[in-house]
Chain A
Amino acid sequence: MASSSSSGLTFKLHPLVIVNISDHYTRIKSQSLPPSTTPHAPSASNVADAESSSPPQQSPRVFGCVIGVQRGRTVEIFNSFELLFDPLTHSLDRAFLEKKQELYKKVFPNFYILGWYSTGSDAQESDMLIHRALMDINESPVFVLLNPSINPAQKDLPVTIFESELHVIDGIPQLIFVRSGYTIETVEAERISIDHVAHLKPSDGGSAATQLAAHLTGIHSAIKMLNSRIRGLHHYLLAMQKGDVPVENSLLRQVSSLLRRLPAIESEKFQDDFLMEYNDTLLISYLAMFTNCSSTMNELVDKFNTAYDRQSRRGGRSAFI
């Protein structure tokens, strides 16, 4: 049912939408588990082991609407909200959709309903009914599908965008889903939050040493990049000096103003502040170590007393357990 799209529209997806869909799915999934099992479900993960007591054979499908802006041939999907799916009539809750649409219009007057989303591994026939239902709001809605199963070998996002096209199959014009490519577009705020989430668990270990190593590695790569840029500038200036490249005064002026900012960390005030902060940190860790040691000592003394002090009393213990 899915071939490649030929409509020529370019899709831009914001990470907020992906996070919203996975959050919706995770919530519904953890709410549908019986209360005896721990509702421990990190986002977008299939908690296979928790399904042992009451296995929902197929993961619940969640539905919702995506909204955004369409400018010319570019469709940019900014946000999404959830909808209730009525399994009896196989349709989405229309009244709620319209109410939500009105509310969103007040806050974001530019955003239109661009389509809908769901979870699952592939688009199905019944989805076409929902798609048709949305066609009166938007003449060509998009269908965003999130695949919630985790595949460690998979390198790209498990998100697919489908469009509907009128194809002639067996002499009957039918609407079928065709896949489209998309790009991820981020706003500064989204970039910061995604970066934050990505760095919560740097690797499987979480000990102080690995975190330190991860942080240092980050700094290392940043400095390496700076290094390569400066090296490029250096070569260019050498070439200019030799005469291979025509002298460009504007660039030289900029470079000289840049170099004037060096040395960046030499001033006396910096040394003072830096040493003060360094000493403060050392002091704090020393103090923490002290507290640790004294509490361990305290425990040791308590155990010692419990073990050996009762020998005088009748019925004392014979050995330290």
Chain B
Amino acid sequence: VRSCVEPQIEEDYQAVNVDLQTDATLQVDISDALSERDKVKFTVHTKSTLPNFKQNEFSVVRQHEEFIWLHDSFVENEEYAGYIIPPAPPRPDFDASREKLQKLGEGEGSMTKEEFTKMKQELEAEYLAIFKKTVAMHEVFLCRVAAHPVLRKDMNFHVFLEYNQDLSVRGKNKREKMEDFFKNVVKSADGVLVAGVKDVDDFFEHEKTFLLEYHNRVKDASSKSDRMIRSHKSAADDINRIASTLYTLGTQDSTDVCKFFLKVSELFEKTRKIEARVAADEDLKLADLLKYYLRESQAAKDLLYRRGRALVDYENANKALDKARAKNKDVLQAETSQQVCCQKFEKISESAKQELIDFKTRRVAAFRKNLVELAELELKHAKGNLQLLQSCVGVLKGDT
């Protein structure tokens, strides 16, 4: 299946989740995307006045794995320990949608032509929506990086944007995946330990409690919103099927009641589109927002973990120094190590504070933007629905 993103629709998806300062010196977007059998190819388009780029404007083709590579390179870079690393975009998942399309093909014989066409259109629309969302998430990641004062200068990032060949990043192999898994286990166990340590700084102590709770709640809200939207979509699908059955019922003969059925069918056909739009918009403005902040709050938590870890290291180094001084043994080494830890901790603390403040600012702005848009869309759809219903009821009543 090949699809392209229509630019005007993409606007809907663009910068949905985050508030991005636009900076003319480096602007990144995904101008096009191609979906092939098992991968999506994104055309990353860059406009920049920065001197380290050879040209002012250029495009490269990137795949999901390359985005992940870029993200991981940020995470692994010690330099960036004090920053909230923009969360990696989720893996494009068209499997469910593809599977449905395939099933539809198998079941073609068992339904009427109209039903089939309708179902096919629906699935294609669904597929397109997932596709666009995927594109949008990848774009948001790049935009976040491009807007970050430090990360935007990252070499890997520049290579990612400019190098017009395949970066030949490969997916992680089994061993590496296992390692990642263990690292994560250790990290989360450690995270609990570190989180238990009382912070010396009230600001961070507060942020820590807040983020822990916030993350859990946004996770809950995200999954609940998904469920809500899923049932909303199902209801819209039902209305769609009701509309087509009513249509069949209405075409059986040409009596009054059949005309009536046709009119109602027509109405339902329209309202279900609106209903589906409502579900889609809630998905976009609400569920995606929550999902993004689920990942972003995880990234913020990761930052706090790194800082916590550094703090623990620093304290341990202090203790080791005290011990060394008491025993008068390896004092110099301990001093050096203590200083390194101290510096690292202070550096993280310094940038982390600003990062967390920025996180909050971004969050509030994003929520504002999305909630306002959500309310406006809900209103628009409800009014559209209302109008349809009113005129239809008017016509039907006039008939009777």
- Does chain A bind chain B? no
